[in-house]
Structure 1
């Protein structure tokens, strides 16, 4: 039984303007192992079309090309891939070597596509290169070789997977006469080793070296002559290993080799793309840094083990309970009334913000709360005054002491006890630089009454870290203030509660529970939340603006990969002829996009770290604060975003490359 048989093979092309052209008109022939067959014909005779069909590059034909009992036209995609990898090898007129790979990698590329191990590939490639006389040139690139040497590499590549059939398309067309004879001797030796060699040529001189000559003219086989018999020899270089599909790991390695060939261009692309990543990460880091600074500053005013609790104002409660549209429908009279109630509560003239016993019980029952202290705080709007030695100071706020006021905030003296008060330092200095321990006269509003009474100044308060503490504040001990109210037949109702926990790790849980119960935190916390929300909005807006540059990066990567497809069209054709699947081609180009994305992400993150360090150095010296906080999460996010954008940009070029027709790709100049 013949190794390959052609039965009434016809090939029809559709013409661009309509109609058809019959390129092959019923070719019949059979071939056996060990034959060196010349297929001779002028340009346009149909010989190359026949070779493309026999080589499995074009399965759209009528008739049958039977190889080992199977019609090539009926082979599945997987079977056709195996046919390219194992059963057939190509030797091209223009060599079609991959320029950025050395000779070993060029010869072993078919084995790479077959997922053969590296050591086996290298050993086989070295053996074949020595057999064709290139043992001293294995690590050279194709552009360092002569035409004859390049064709020897192409012959070695065709033999890499030890195929049964070799198709040589004008293998001597680009060579001088002397080199032609050397190459023809090599091809003849291949046939002698038992392989079927089909050589396309238009030269009768080349055909004279073959054992059999088929002549084609105008799509017809006009003659089939046997002219000599080859003496067969034993093939000692045969390979025997399992042919598989190329793994993702090998696709990435191949992509990395491709990237190195255009290293300068790819680095510039990665650098350009990194600008967008740097902008996004920097905006996130700036937002994080500034937010952390604000939060840290606000927290510095209070004890981390203390949770300060307030009742919601009437307006806050309504905003929480009512639909926004209902709030908008409130009459002006209702709004004005609510505002008056809020002002009365702030001035201590209303009990709307006071805690009832049931409220205190709820707070005391919160898990992890070890101690509950009552407090009182109100704006006095200047109705309270402190007088000393003829000098008077208007007090804007009255507040009771609590553990939330850290010891470091009392810059002089001690916290007040009994018939004592504490003043803020700025107010005290307006009366006397050494006011601690001295007695002052205080005029203040107690409930509905205004009293005047002498108190000893126990200490001075000042907000830590140069914070924005409220000035003109009069501090009392809560129990002492409660007694003062009772002495004047008034009732002091607490409007602030302090929850203390021994473990500050529990503070957040307590604050969350407080909010769940419908209460609010301290003024500092509310301001901190407000600033944090504002900063978050600003951060995301700036990040979104910076993200526009990512679109530019994606377009740039898309353009570069498209250019790469155009530049490497013939290389893609060679890979397909050697058995590369569409998936393999997609993987190679997707891997290149992945590598560009990874490189740009890393460059962008490193650049952000350097720029952030420079910014922090300046702000630390100028304002004693670091405003850029780059976290590992931000760095990882930047790299991931870069990879995702690059992969998305690489989808179209990868698909385009995978869909290239191998016949058309190999014709590309």
Structure 2
């Protein structure tokens, strides 16, 4: 049975004016293994169109092209890919070598597309290059060898997967007479090894070198050998299936191309990295400032303590549905807030409240507390000097020892004053007696107490007096009133449990300290500002995406012929998309790494200045932000690469190979 048989092959082109042009007009021919056949014709005669059809590059024809009895017109897309990889080898007039690959990689390309392992394909490529006389040049680039040597590389590439059919399209058209003879001898040797060689040429010298000649003119064969084959030839087994290129090999090809155009790709990655750097820097700066504010506020409290305040019903409703409160309810809530601050609300913790809080998991003990904000009613006098006291609170484990800068915690009949108030009254006031005019609940009281120590906290600027809970209870008793605690301090042995306890307290309908609420408010404000600044910085990423889109589109235009060669060698659309998507991925990855590196350098400089000026870490570059930046860079680059990758995959191989 013939290797290849053509039966009434007709090819028409649909013109823009609605007419058809018939390029092939009922071609019939038969080709056997070991033949070297010249297909001769002038330019425009249809010989290249016929070769494109035989080579599986153009399946839009009528009639039958039978390869071992299988009709190419009925091949699926995958069968055509397998046909290109295993059954057909192309030798082009202009060589069509891939400029940024060395000779071994050029020859082994069809095996790369077939997912052959590196050791096997390199050994096969080196064997063929040695066979065609290029053993000393195999790791050179195409622009480092002569035209005749390039054609030898093309011959080796055509043979690498041991195909049955070799199609040589004007293989000597770009060569001198001496080199032409050498190339023809090589091709003749291929035919004698049992392969069918179809030589497209307009040269009578080349045609004379072949076993027989088929002359084509105006789409018709003027001379052909008769065929004795039956009208229908049965198929002889299934076509051989070939593996497809893996993602790893697509990434390698993309890397080699990027390496060849390193300067341009580096500038693109550099431009993209600036946007990534801005985003990471804003996130890290926000993290640093938020952490500083939070840690500063927490440094003056005990991390094992949870401070609990009772929340009024109106307050809870306001927090849940603030828009549903009318003016009367809002006014009532404001009065409740004032009463709570002044300690006159009467809404202290009941035994039931205390029991509920004691049952919270990980709470090992609790303290009762009291705090009240005075609207100018409380004052302290010492040796004729008088100062207002705005805040009265009880001593608890929540007050860090470091905040009492002089003296000790208050006992019965003692008080701790804030350092600012003490400075107004006079120096060396610790251990001295002072007189207080106090409003206790609803009644006024004058009381003499000993200053046990001085208190200083950067988070609290109001004048403060701190006494023991028992002392406040005694003051209430002296005025005929009963003290109800309005603060509960919950203690846990392990500070890692504090957050869990605070969350449970909120679920039960209570609130944390004013300090915690302020911290949360500042943190929320800083988070909003951080995200706004990050969003503004992210605008530059849009510019980066457009830049990558443009560069990859330019790359598609520059590599149109290369894409045609890859498709002729058996590359699927998916393979082409993968190569360009891999390039986009590598650009994004490189840009992300550059952005992280730049951010790291800037953070070192900013933090060095912040440490020397304020003793704080202003930029906190966490692994989370590093990964966010790199992933964001890759995703944006991949999105920008979708259109160029699809465009490249849809290129028609015939048109791509014609592009100069």
TM-score > 0.5, shorter chain as reference: yes
1:563 to 554, 558, 571: 554
Q: SS in structure 1 opposite 2:209?
A: coil
- Where does 1:207-606 land on structure 2 (aligned, <5 Å)? 207-224=207-224, 243-313=242-312, 315-321=314-320, 323-327=321-325, 330-331=326-327, 333-352=328-347, 354-463=348-457, 467-606=458-597
User: What residue is the counterpart of 1:79 in the other structure?
Assistant: 79
Q: SS in structure 2 opposite 1:520?
A: coil
Cα distance in structure 1, aligned partners of 2:586 and 2:533? 28
Contact 2:39 2:216 (8 Å CA) reproduced: yes
Q: Give the C-alpha shift of residue 549 in structure 1.
A: 1.1
Give the number of equivalent residue pairs.
647
Q: SS in structure 2 opposite 1:168?
A: strand
Cα distance in structure 1, aligned partners of 2:538 and 2:449? 62
Q: SS in structure 2 opposite 1:440?
A: strand
Cα distance in structure 1, aligned partners of 2:437 and 2:305? 31
Q: Give the C-alpha shift of residue 334 in structure 1.
A: 4.4
Q: Give the C-alpha shift of residue 315 in structure 1.
A: 5.0
* 2:103 aligned with 1:103: yes
User: What residue is the counterpart of 2:169 in the other structure?
Assistant: 169
Cα distance in structure 2, aligned partners of 1:156 and 1:334? 90
Contact 1:315 1:342 (8 Å CA) reproduced: no
Q: SS in structure 1 opposite 2:106?
A: helix
Cα distance in structure 1, aligned partners of 2:655 and 2:38? 23
Contact 2:29 2:225 (8 Å CA) reproduced: no
Q: Give the C-alpha shift of residue 311 in structure 1.
A: 1.4
User: What residue is the counterpart of 2:56 in the other structure?
Assistant: 56
Contact 1:447 1:491 (8 Å CA) reproduced: no
* TM-score calculated relative to the size of structure 2: 0.96
* 2:153 aligned with 1:157: no
1:660 to 637, 641, 651: 651
Contact 2:314 2:329 (8 Å CA) reproduced: no
Q: SS in structure 2 opposite 1:381?
A: coil
Cα distance in structure 1, aligned partners of 2:118 and 2:241? 14
Q: Give the C-alpha shift of residue 124 in structure 1.
A: 0.8
Q: Give the C-alpha shift of residue 371 in structure 1.
A: 1.2
Contact 1:212 1:224 (8 Å CA) reproduced: no
Cα distance in structure 1, aligned partners of 2:642 and 2:545? 11
Cα distance in structure 2, aligned partners of 1:501 and 1:456? 32
CA deviation vs aligned residue, 1:514-535 (integer Å, no higher than 9, x gap)? 1001111111100010011111
CA deviation vs aligned residue, 1:576-600 (integer Å, no higher than 9, x gap)? 0001111111111111111111111
User: What residue is the counterpart of 1:189 in the other structure?
Assistant: 189
Q: SS in structure 2 opposite 1:494?
A: coil
Would the alpha carbon gap of residues 28 and 334 (structure 1) be closer, same or farther in structure 2, given more than 3 Å must change?
A: closer
Cα distance in structure 2, aligned partners of 1:630 and 1:59? 57
Q: SS in structure 2 opposite 1:383?
A: coil
Q: SS in structure 1 opposite 2:390?
A: strand
Cα distance in structure 2, aligned partners of 1:346 and 1:75? 85
Q: SS in structure 1 opposite 2:374?
A: strand
Contact 2:272 2:541 (8 Å CA) reproduced: yes
Q: SS in structure 2 opposite 1:287?
A: helix
Cα distance in structure 2, aligned partners of 1:157 and 1:185? 17
Contact 1:419 1:455 (8 Å CA) reproduced: yes
Contact 1:10 1:63 (8 Å CA) reproduced: yes
Cα distance in structure 1, aligned partners of 2:254 and 2:575? 11
Cα distance in structure 1, aligned partners of 2:443 and 2:508? 34
Q: Give the C-alpha shift of residue 572 in structure 1.
A: 0.5
Q: Give the C-alpha shift of residue 421 in structure 1.
A: 1.1
Q: Give the C-alpha shift of residue 313 in structure 1.
A: 4.6
Cα distance in structure 1, aligned partners of 2:384 and 2:123? 104
Q: Give the C-alpha shift of residue 293 in structure 1.
A: 0.7
Q: Give the C-alpha shift of residue 317 in structure 1.
A: 2.1
Q: SS in structure 1 opposite 2:409?
A: coil
Q: SS in structure 2 opposite 1:635?
A: helix
Q: Give the C-alpha shift of residue 438 in structure 1.
A: 0.9
User: What residue is the counterpart of 1:229 in the other structure?
Assistant: none
Cα distance in structure 1, aligned partners of 2:266 and 2:207? 50
For structure 2, list consecutive stretches of 5 or more residues without a partner in the other structure: 227-239
User: What residue is the counterpart of 1:234 in the other structure?
Assistant: none
Q: Give the C-alpha shift of residue 506 in structure 1.
A: 1.0
Contact 1:585 1:654 (8 Å CA) reproduced: yes
For structure 1, list consecutive stretches of 5 or more residues without a partner in the other structure: 227-240
Q: Give the C-alpha shift of residue 182 in structure 1.
A: 1.0
Q: SS in structure 2 opposite 1:611?
A: helix
Contact 2:297 2:459 (8 Å CA) reproduced: no
Cα distance in structure 2, aligned partners of 1:608 and 1:195? 61
Contact 1:40 1:213 (8 Å CA) reproduced: yes
Cα distance in structure 1, aligned partners of 2:117 and 2:428? 87
Q: Give the C-alpha shift of residue 553 in structure 1.
A: 1.1
Q: Give the C-alpha shift of residue 271 in structure 1.
A: 0.9
Contact 1:314 1:342 (8 Å CA) reproduced: no
Cα distance in structure 1, aligned partners of 2:323 and 2:453? 50
Q: SS in structure 2 opposite 1:459?
A: strand
Cα distance in structure 2, aligned partners of 1:121 and 1:419? 93
Contact 1:116 1:243 (8 Å CA) reproduced: no
**Range with greater deviation from structure 2 (361-370 or 26-35):** 361-370
Would the alpha carbon gap of residues 242 and 11 (structure 1) be closer, same or farther in structure 2, given more than 3 Å must change?
A: closer
User: What residue is the counterpart of 1:236 in the other structure?
Assistant: none
User: What residue is the counterpart of 1:44 in the other structure?
Assistant: 44
Cα distance in structure 2, aligned partners of 1:320 and 1:339? 13
User: What residue is the counterpart of 1:15 in the other structure?
Assistant: 15
**Range with greater deviation from structure 2 (295-304 or 340-349):** 340-349
Q: Give the C-alpha shift of residue 225 in structure 1.
A: 6.7
Q: SS in structure 2 opposite 1:345?
A: helix
Cα distance in structure 2, aligned partners of 1:493 and 1:524? 22
Would the alpha carbon gap of residues 124 and 337 (structure 1) be closer, same or farther in structure 2, given more than 3 Å must change?
A: closer
Q: SS in structure 2 opposite 1:519?
A: coil
* TM-score calculated relative to the size of structure 1: 0.95
User: What residue is the counterpart of 1:235 in the other structure?
Assistant: none
Contact 1:166 1:198 (8 Å CA) reproduced: yes
Q: SS in structure 2 opposite 1:336?
A: helix
CA-atom RMSD in angstroms: 1.4
Q: Give the C-alpha shift of residue 392 in structure 1.
A: 1.1
Contact 1:167 1:199 (8 Å CA) reproduced: yes
User: What residue is the counterpart of 2:237 in the other structure?
Assistant: none
Cα distance in structure 1, aligned partners of 2:54 and 2:171? 17
**Range with greater deviation from structure 2 (283-292 or 336-345):** 336-345
CA deviation vs aligned residue, 1:421-465 (integer Å, no higher than 9, x gap)? 1111111121121011111111111222212121111111111xx
